[in-house]
A and B are shown apart, each in its own frame.
Chain A
Amino acid sequence: MRIFATVIAAALTVVITATAQAFCGFYVARADTSLFNKASQVILVRDDNRTVITMANDFEGEVKDFAVVIPVPTRIEREQINVGDRAIVEHLDAYTAPRLVEYHDPDPCMRYEYLKSSQDRAVPQATVAERERKVARSLGVTIEASYTVGEYDILILSAEDSGGLIRWLTDNEYKLPKGAEKVVDSYLKQDMRFFVAKINLEEQSKLGYQFLRPLQVAYESNKFMLPIRLGTLNAKGKQELYVYALTRTGRVETTNYRTVKLPSDTEVPEFVQGEFAEFYRAMFEKQVEKENERAVFLEYAWDMGWCDPCAADPLSSDELRKLGVFWVGDSAERSKIAPQAQNVFVTRLHVRYDSKHFPEDLVFQETGDRQNYQGRYIIRHPWKGEASCDISSYQADVRKRQEREAQALANLTGWDIDDIRSKIPFPDDTPPPPTDPWWKRLWG
């Protein structure tokens, strides 16, 4: 039985492996396993009515069973479809990922700061996207054309026959989720079109790719939206979606759902460094609940020219062009100037959705807001060296700070405060935590 994978079935890995020195602390988080399961990544490049969409999927299972039905807001032709480079998507993910930064307290007995740092940059290598074009024969009335693009067989469906898609899928033994026909029909009435991509095993083995590469589509349409309704039909619980918008003017937000900034710049206990993935998952979960499961969350909004601190280097002009950022010059023109002045603003949105809380497709707008925002969490390491003076007041300050961090973490994640406290190495010889009533310490 073949599997019908709707829209973009994928499991996203928030790969944050790079470590880089920066002005605002040091990027240290490592969470190179999947943070969230059942997630998809979509990159939307948008300027005026031109859109380039890149859909990365992390399909698990037999690739021969893989097929994806992609709704696009307008009629498309063969040349508008491309197979992209997975490494670039991973790079963009790493660049925009929520980050943990660390600071080391200076020696309280010294008058200057000492900061230990390590620098270890991991710059994802961008490989040139392969293109192979082969025109295949027409499949009759319902399929307008069939092509092989990279490892994918692409079937563009005829605009004239609205029932064609359903009929074709059923004829070809694809299992349709319940309710798909209605949604497909609604999309067709709204002048949306579909294409089907499945794996050409021969081409895939020839090309030697182990993972499915992202599909890209370029089109012109007033609709600045993302169809999510088909994705809600699989009924395997909530779906996780990341949308990266690359625009010229400013931050992107949804017009039909609330776009909410995740709490950021919070100081958290040191042990979060080892549990960053768990921390982030718990915090996200809590925020989703707080917004009644109806909000889209902003994780990053930044001018692509720089970052501070950098979770990964900004994308190069070449990488941006491959993602479809048509307004950046080619590398020959700007080899010496890059990476400054890209004129690209990146917005990273994270949404957990189901049909109950997100009945309608996501509709976006570009705003003029160029204010930088990042999901940034801070750990501060207390001074652990030999003290050459009386540091009792410093230790008391550290104690207070650790308590503050414990409470901030409990607030953000909903974790039990006592569990959190038990993981914090409080300095010795300091007063007990301020859980005691204040008067106990009043007269000694």
Chain B
Amino acid sequence: MKTANAFSLRLRDPRYYQIAVLSLLLTYGVAVLDFGIRSQNALLIVVTALAVQFAGTMYSKLPRFDPLSPLITSLSLTLLLRTDMASVAVLAACMAIGSKFLLRIRGKHIFNPANFALVSLMLLSDHAWVSSGQWGSAAIGAFTLACLGFLVLTRAKRAETTIAFIAFYGAMLFGRAIWLDDPFSIPLHQMQNGALLIFAFFMISDPKTTPNTALGRIFYAALVAAVAYTIQFIYYQPNGPILALIMCAPVVPLIDNLLRGRIYRWEQAAEEKIGQIKGVF
């Protein structure tokens, strides 16, 4: 009985779906789109992330080692980070997972781990970059990505961050096109960006680093969209959404202060049955 419960608890954990979808995207990227992802770097990222998570578990005296979150972070990093140096890949994994344990406010980590590592390394080193155009803009590809991502979100029951971000960002892009009297093919093309969709579905949606209330999350998504737009179309810098997320992350504790809600737990769906699980990830 106990085993059956544990199994059903696992199936309810959205992270399994997330890992499956991210792995699928990675396979598609490598096999079809010829991404230039180095398998050695991918392996280094996964191994390092798991090792740092293990060390962090020991250090924080957590009851059990949880490999799922570092695996998701590793996959996100592998999908987005491009580097020609193995050491940068290792450093990325260390910074990502390390930030979860070290940069915390009131029981929540501040930054999405993959986002923190990506931005820090892009700023610190010439050897890290994000190839946002590499996904192409094939409409069908974008559609598939969106659907697959949505699956993850509905399982995570926190789809409003993603929907709000896409709605606000899309509104700004279309608004800009109207202001410039540009054809709508331009904002449509801008929206059909694989990296943007991966960001919306797999990064900003991270329930651990978004506000605890639905209203807070919608406000937060609007803020990230506005900052991303500013970076991309007023300062003309690439990777607007990824930069915007890290800039807005410190606002989350303030939003939580104003709008109180429950801290997200991955196993939330099964909590009522088996009680509180002590753990932070």
Contacts and interface: CB of A to CB of B under 8 A. Distances in A.
B189 interface: yes
Contacts of B128: 368
26 contacts: A182-B181, A185-B181, A189-B180, A222-B235, A224-B236, A225-B236, A250-B126, A254-B133, A255-B238, A256-B137, A256-B189, A258-B133, A258-B134, A259-B131, A259-B134, A292-B138, A359-B183, A359-B188, A360-B189, A360-B190, A367-B129, A368-B126, A368-B129, A369-B84, A369-B129, A371-B84
Contacts of A249: 126
Contacts of A294: 136-138
When A and B form their complex, which 5 residue pairs have the shortest distance between CB atoms, in order from nearest? A359-B185, A222-B236, A258-B136, A186-B180, A368-B127
Interface string B135-164: 111100000000000000000000000000
A359 B129 CA distance: 25
B27 interface: no
A75 interface: no
A368 B88 CA distance: 12
Contacts of B135: 258
Interface string A175-197: 00000001001100110000000
B73 interface: no
- Helix, strand, loop or mixed for chain B's interface? loop
B193 interface: yes
Interface residues of A, number: 36
Contact of A261 (B34, B138, B189): B34
A60 B135 CA distance: 38
A365 B190 CA distance: 16
Interface string B166-206: 00000000000001111101101110010000000000000
Contacts of B190: 256, 360
A253 interface: yes
Interface in A341-369: 355-356, 359-360, 363, 365, 367-369
A370 B186 CA distance: 32
Interface in A233-272: 249-250, 253-261
Contacts of B5: none
Contacts, number: 84
B132 A255 contact: yes
A369 B136 CA distance: 19
A369 B131 CA distance: 11
A2 interface: no
Interface string A254-297: 11111111000000000000000000000000000001101100
Interface string A362-389: 0101011111000000000000000000
A291 B135 CA distance: 11
A224 B237 CA distance: 9
Contacts of A223: 236
A139 to B, nearest CB: 27
Contacts of B133: 253-259
Contacts of A261: 34
Given A257-B133, A359-B186, A222 B238 contact: no
Given A189-B179, A368-B129, 6 more contacts: A182-B181, A221-B236, A255-B132, A255-B238, A356-B185, A365-B238
Contacts of A355: 185
A344 to B, nearest CB: 15
A203 B185 CA distance: 43
Contacts of A369: 82, 84, 129
A253 B127 CA distance: 15
A223 B137 CA distance: 22
B136 A365 contact: no
A414 to B, nearest CB: 19
Contacts of B236: 221-225
Nearest to A256: B133
A260 B134 CA distance: 8
A182 B180 CA distance: 8
B230 to A, nearest CB: 12
A291 B141 CA distance: 13
